[in-house]
Amino acid sequence: MEQQLTVLDAQAFARDLVNLRSNDIYPETLAQHVKERFADKNVNVKVYDEEQIRELGLTAYLEVAKGSDNPPRFIVIEYLNEPQEQKPLVFVGKGITYDSGGYSIKPSDGMKTMNADMGGAGTVIGAIDAISSNELKVNVVAFCENSISGRSYKPGDIIKARNGLTIEVDNTDAEGRITLADAVNYGVTEYDPEFIIDLATLTGACLVALAETYTGAVTNNQETFEKLLAAAKVSNERIWQLPNDDTIRKYNESEVADVKNSGGRLGGTITAGQFIENFIEEKPWVHLDIAGTAYLSKPQGLYEKGATGVHVRTLCNLAKKYSK
């Protein structure tokens, strides 16, 4: 019972973070919340500022971040246990603390709940909190904002990612996948994980297809997905697998760069996941699009309107499978 209460408390913390508005939560203050939450736990929190992010080679990440007056932060949370040679699990959460859409600006109604665009990061923070007494090895979380200024990146720009691939910016409102590109690449190259799972409020297409009930999933490794799905079923959190089809992948092709950051309207949830796949160095990977499930427009089941902390319990249950 005590373990269950710990998980529920962590999920409530994730919900509180995501429910905060953008005048209260931005990269610096979110980093402070994380440091305070883990201050008394056996967890190593690293917060990288703008110059350190540049030194880490997160060039695409910085292209998204540079338009905001609030400087970006890249947050890495490590929970390491013996044996040290055990491959870590890597969870990556999209942490856009507010998403205006950039130059591809959203309509006013579309901006009202964009404080929730850090839902993936909230889940990952909550998950590492919940399993800090278990064997989860590492957790990587990225935060920045997507606003407009004379410094912002623009549609038509060609930018370079951490792994050297060039990205044609087709739509600045497809910013989360660009930050995730560098974040997942950092995770796989620095930690050589057992697998990597990213969570993101990524596409309106997922909300249209699966409403606010199912999380959409894209994977390159069926075995890893099945383990995740089993953990989700125990948590009563619903996940629907989408095809990782090479024919659909072609929508991301660019005439001027290695890849486009948007494949357009057709198969939008799938192409967004496939974009991220370019940066995982062929590691076992699952992408979870929580655009519909992270933040509810009306009460559903046990949840009130607003943030849900979806998949905190799923990730905790998954980590238990790897406990030594």
Identify the pLDDT of residue 290.
Answer: 98
Identify the pLDDT of residue 138.
Answer: 47
Q: Could you give the dihedral angle defined by the CA atoms of residues 203, 251, 182 and 111, in that order, rounded to the nearest 10 degrees?
A: -30
Identify the pLDDT of residue 133.
Answer: 57
Identify the pLDDT of residue 257.
Answer: 98
3-state secondary structure the chain: CHHHHHHHHHHHHHHHHHHCCCCCCCHHHHHHHHHHHCCCCCCEEEEECHHHHHHCCCHHHHHHHCCCCCCCEEEEEECCCCCCCCCCEEEEEEEEEEECCCCCCCCHHHHCCHHHHHHHHHHHHHHHHHCCCCCCCEEEEEEEEECCCCCCCCCCCEEECCCCCEEECCCCCCCHHHHHHHHHHHHHHHHCCCEEEEEECCCHHHHHHHCCCCEEEEECCHHHHHHHHHHHHHHCCCEEECCCCHHHHHHHCCCCCCEECCCCCCCHHHHHHHHHHCCCCCCCEEEEECCCCCEECCCECCECCEECCCCHHHHHHHHHHCCC
Identify the pLDDT of residue 149.
Answer: 63
Identify the pLDDT of residue 84.
Answer: 67
Q: Report the relative pairing of strands 239-241 and 295-296 from DSSP bridges.
A: unpaired
Identify the pLDDT of residue 263.
Answer: 97
- Catalytic residues, by residue number, are 106, 177
Question: Average pLDDT per run of 10 along the chain, which is 324 residues long?
Answer: 77 96 93 95 92 96 92 92 79 92 85 89 94 60 62 94 98 95 96 95 97 98 98 97 98 98 97 98 98 96 94 94 78
Identify the pLDDT of residue 323.
Answer: 76
Pair of tokens at residue 66: 């540079």
Q: Phi and psi dihedrals of 191, rounded to 5?
A: -125, -5
| Tens digit of each residue's pLDDT (9 = 90 or more) over 259-283 | 999 999 999 999 999 999 999 999 9
